[in-house]
Amino acid sequence: MVHGLATPRPAAGGPAVSGLEFQVVHTDDVAAAFAAAIRADARGPINVAAGPVVDPRSLPNMVGGQPIPVPARLVRGLVQLAFRGRLIPIDEGWIDLALAVPLMDTSRAHELLGWRPAHEAGSILREWLTGAAAGTGRATPVLRPVNRPGDQVAGAARAIRGDSAGRV
């Protein structure tokens, strides 16, 4: 997204992609869980995620709108077209992956570490959308900010030449 051209605002509606369920967690909450695990000398896997689970019904409401049902096949097809047109940096395989993400049991983090997330799923998603719309990010291949309209064109040219190194 080009910096400054999009500002987050409540949406009249949002996509409710059939079959899509996932969890999110704020980086501050991950850091708190990591610190708690060190203090507790915890061993083994510990899942952390904020509630509630994000699903087709809750996602649009969390980001400010009413659900608009969208078939997963349609989303997959649109992503496939956009990727092949060099408009987005992900292919349709990421949609398949998103639709198959397992939901995690976070009870071990609660019981063993006494960990509770300070941020709920809706506020995490809204914070992420605000950052994405503002073009903020760090200079990593996927998250680097898009500062000029030509950045997307330059990324497409790099991808066509085969020297994108993961950047778009």
Read off the pLDDT of residues 36-92 as tens digits, 9 standing for 90 and up.
999 998 899 999 999 999 999 898 888 888 888 999 999 999 999 999 998 988 899
Average pLDDT over residues 22-42: 94
Read off the pLDDT of residues 121-149 as tens digits, 9 standing for 90 and up.
999 999 988 887 787 766 555 555 666 77
Can you tell me the distance from the alpha carbon of 66 to that of 13, in angstroms, rounded to the nearest whole number?
A: 4
> How far are the Cα atoms of 32, 40, 112 from residue 26, in angstroms, in the given order?
10, 21, 20
Are 160 and 152 in contact by the 8 Å Cβ rule? The answer is no
pTM metric for this prediction: 0.69
Can you tell me the distance from the alpha carbon of 76 to that of 143, in angstroms, rounded to the nearest whole number?
A: 22
Helix (H, G, I), strand (E, B) or coil at 13: strand
Are 77 and 71 in contact by the 8 Å Cβ rule? The answer is no
